[in-house]
Structure formats: C-alpha cells, structure tokens
A and B are shown apart, each in its own frame.
Chain A
Amino acid sequence: RQDVLVLTPWLAPIVWEGTFSRDILNAQYLQKNLVTGVVTFAVEKYWFFIEGFMTSANKYFLAGHQVNFYLFTDSPEKVSHLQMAPEKQLFVIPVQNGSSWQDISRCRMRMVSSHIQRQFQHQVDYLYSMDINVQLLAHVGVEIIDDLVATISSWQVTPQQDSKTHGTHPELQGDFHYTASFYGGSVAEMYKLTTACFGGLGEDRQNGIKAQGYHERHLNKYLLQHKPTRLLSPEYYWDTEL
C-alpha cells in the first residue's frame, strides 16, 4: 500500500487491509495456542446491543482461534440465549450501574484492572477492550495480536469543519489520536494501562473535572508515553456518524 502510512516512527506496524497475509499469520499463531480475551460493557440501555455485537463477533472476531468474551452487564438475564462458536466462550459478569458517566468509565477501568489481576491473567494471553455498540462487518484476525495495540481514530482521517456533539473535539497533540472503542494487548500491558488510566480518572474526579471523551483522553495520554507496539487503521473501528 503506497497511499497510507504503514509504519510509525517507532517501528510499530500500522495494519491496513493489503499490508499483510492472514494465512501466513495464522500459520504462525496456531503454533502458539494463544487464548485471547475481549472485555466489553453493556450497562443500562446498552443491553440492546449485546445480541448484535455477539453475533458478529462470533462470526468475524479471530475466527478459528480461542476467544473468551467477558461481558460486564447489569442485565445478565438478557444474554442467556446466545449461541457461541466452538472455540469461543462467553463469560457474563454482573455489575451494578454507576451513577454518572465519569463513574461508569472510571469503574470500568478499575473493574477490568482488578479482574485481570484476579482472573483474566490466568485465562488469557491477550486482552482487548471493545465498545458494545459496534458490529463487525468483516474478519478481524490475528493481525491485531501484539503487546500493546491501539486503533487510530477515524476522526483524524477525515477532517471535519464543525465540531460534533460526540465529545469535545480531541486536541490532536502527539503522534496519533486513538479511539477508546477498540484497544488491547498482552494481559501484562493491559493491566498497566487500566491501572494507570484508573488512577488518572480518579485525579480528574477529585479536581472536579468532568468532560465527555475523557476516557479517550486518558487513554491517549497513556499511549503517548507508552507507545503502542502495533496500530490498527481506522478500518478496525469506523464511526458511521462520519
């Protein structure tokens, strides 16, 4: 691919369609018997997205590889009828819903962090965090597996004239702007990331800072100092509002 950037200045590959061969990658990864985890939250009204997400993820996410889906939800009764593919497993983790946006986001980081420590590190090698309100439209495979992986936000690729209500327009400092909707890496790196972000969000709360998109802001701040080892192109998370 000559039209896009495929390597960052710190030699992390940027994964675009056309830059890799999934067959070669699969051959290498099947040797290693890896288990990948996916963490996603469906609280309050978001239970509606569970079925759509799980059906598409079952079909398209790391097809043929072992995946554990960890679904944090406050309405566990709504997930009972899902059918999973043979290598995929679903773990439903019931949670109490938080009082406000900040709390939910902050609690998420804390919950993921503590679950990694207690449970996930023994069950999976790699862990990814995905927003529940997405649907996979094509195969997402082992090209995403690396120590610390982030997805370039689609907001950066198409310049926009007016600011959207989706959130405060992220200041484009740093190398790239990453979306908080799809990121991940090895459990060790994810533990460090969630713990650091949880700490940062706690500080903001103390100082009374509230703003939308702060979850993303803290993620980006962390990734500026701890550069991801692999980047995913905006193909991997495209906001249809654009």
Chain B
Amino acid sequence: MISRKVLVGSLVCLGVIAVAIWARAGSGKIHYLPYYLPCPEIFSMKLQYTEEKLIQLFPQLFYQQPRVLVPKYTRFVRRFLESAEQHFMQGYQVNYYIFTDSPGSIVPARLQRGRRLLALPVPSFSSWQEISMRRMETISRHLARLRPAELHYLFCLDIDMVFHNPWGPETLGDMVAAIHPGYFTVPREQFPYERRSSSAAFIPEGEGDFYYGGAVFGGLVSKVYEFTKTCHMTILADKANGIMAAWQEESHLNRHFLTHKPSKLLSPEYIWDDRKPKPPEIRLVRFSTVEKNYKEIRN
C-alpha cells in the first residue's frame, strides 16, 4: 500500500513539473508531460525464486498502426504468432502481450497449452518514429501495473519478424541484449551511435562494446522495468531539447547498455535481417525480419 504521504508527495511533484513544462512550452508547440512512476516499491521487494522448470515468459510485441484505413501490421501478427508457437520457448509458459491501437483486429490465434495472448490498447501516434520511441514508455507503464509473481522473464520483440528455428532457455538471463546483424563485423567507429553531444544517447568516439539491435531485448522483469524506464526518461530529455536520436530508441538502448552492461548477449542469429546475405558465422537463423516494403509501411 502506498502511504498517503508518498502519494501526495508524488502528486505535488507531478504538479510542479507539469507547471514548469506548461510555462516553458506554452507557445503552441507540442507539450510533453514527463510522468513519475510512483510505484517502484513493487520491485524493491525481493522476487521469490521458485525452482520449477516452467518459467513464465512474456514476449511483448509492438503492433504499430499509423492512422490509415488498412491495418498494415496485422498481417505480421499472424505470421509472428504461428512461428512463435512452433519455435519460441517450447515447453514453457508463455504470455504474448501485443500492444496495438486496434485490439479488435487481433484475431485470437490457436495457442498451445500454457500460453496466452493478450492484446493491449495503446493510443496511435502521428509518425512511425514516435510509435517506435513510445515503446519504452508503454512497456515500463505496463510492467508497473503487473504483479511480480505473474512473470519471471520478459522479452520485447518487434512484431514484423518471424521465428525460423528454436529459441530456448539459452536466451534467458538477468539482462539480455542482441547484437545487431549489420554491425557485428565492423569496428566500433562505424557503429551508428548517436554522435551529437547534445543528445542523452550520445556515445563518444572510441567507446562502445557492441551495437545492439532494438528489435530484441529482455531479461528479468525488474531489470527490464529499470531499463525501459531509464530509456524513456532519456528519450524525454531529448524531446525537451528538441532533438531525436539517430536511430530513435535504439540509440538510447545502446547508450544504456554501455553503462549498464547486459548479462547475456545473443548473437545475430537471434535478430537477423533476411535481406542480408548469410555469412558462414551465422549457422542458424532463428529470428529474422519479414520482407516488407518500408515505404509502404512508414508512409
């Protein structure tokens, strides 16, 4: 139970911040209201570890739909789910959380035992970049509402991708990131980090271990919560300064993983791009993008 004082305190905090923002940006430009999630108490409790074989996992997926008549990403959902049912964490309890601005258009697919699908509504946004960046906010808000006993691990995956081969418990870890398929053979000077120092996602030359892909990340629920919350804050900081990072939330993700290193990395087998020719190092493509027309989707 959140004590009265904390609640009042955080409301006052919110009020003060809101006033400050309104005062500053009152010229008719877009207002961004940073919120403060007053409930990290959930995660200060020690998570109990049960030693059962079944681990609850929740791949959270982003289903983006720009405001047009024809839902563009619906077709991806079916293919994603079918392939996930075949390859993703066989034998484990899995919940799929699909964030979408049209929950009605998600056709309930037939799932194996121990698996559930939940379609969660999110507001639609004006541009695909906005949708992409809002992922962090949505995920952290969703986790704040969740009871910790419900789930152990969480993966956040892009919906416009498909599983081709098994994805199992070798991927589980405290904080898991995947190496971007386009940058695992190049030196760090060529990583597309955000290089403008005015951005909160700035990484100077000569720094950086890997370039991680934004389409796959995961880990323990508490770690993912901290991670998405921090990324959301840095994205908001950039917005307040009128700057958008080079690769949106992927830049912020890379910045965060530089200072808080992931406990486990997945090779590009787990985040492949089918448009690229397969080099000999990649023995098994497990998860890759679906052929799509970018112009058509991103209007």
Contacts and interface: CB of A to CB of B under 8 A. Distances in A.
Interface of A: 11, 24, 28
4 contacts: A11-B170, A11-B264, A24-B261, A28-B261
A7 to B, nearest CB: 11
B286 to A, nearest CB: 16
A27 to B, nearest CB: 9
Contacts of A24: 261
Contacts of A28: 261
Interface of B: 170, 261, 264
Nearest to A24: B261
Contacts of B170: 11
Contacts of A11: 170, 264
Nearest to B170: A11
The 4 closest A-B pairs by CB, nearest first: A11-B170, A28-B261, A11-B264, A24-B261
Contacts of B264: 11
Nearest to B172: A11
A234 B264 CA distance: 25
Nearest to A192: B51
A24 B260 CA distance: 11
B45 to A, nearest CB: 16
A24 B259 CA distance: 10
A28 B261 CA distance: 8
A24 B258 CA distance: 11
A24 B264 CA distance: 15
Nearest to A28: B261
Contacts of B261: 24, 28
A221 B264 CA distance: 27
B109 to A, nearest CB: 31
A169 B170 CA distance: 34
A28 B263 CA distance: 11
A143 to B, nearest CB: 14
A55 to B, nearest CB: 34
A68 B77 CA distance: 54
A11 B265 CA distance: 11
A11 B264 CA distance: 10
A28 B262 CA distance: 11
A240 to B, nearest CB: 36
A24 B261 CA distance: 10
A230 B278 CA distance: 33
Nearest to A25: B261
A185 to B, nearest CB: 14
Nearest to B46: A188
B198 to A, nearest CB: 26
Nearest to B261: A28
Nearest to B173: A11
A149 to B, nearest CB: 15
Nearest to B49: A188
A2 to B, nearest CB: 16
A162 B264 CA distance: 42
B269 to A, nearest CB: 14
A24 B170 CA distance: 24
A188 to B, nearest CB: 8
B152 to A, nearest CB: 15
A11 B261 CA distance: 17
A222 to B, nearest CB: 14
A24 B208 CA distance: 12
Nearest to A188: B49
A227 to B, nearest CB: 13
B42 to A, nearest CB: 21
A28 B175 CA distance: 14
B14 to A, nearest CB: 29
A218 B264 CA distance: 31
B232 to A, nearest CB: 21
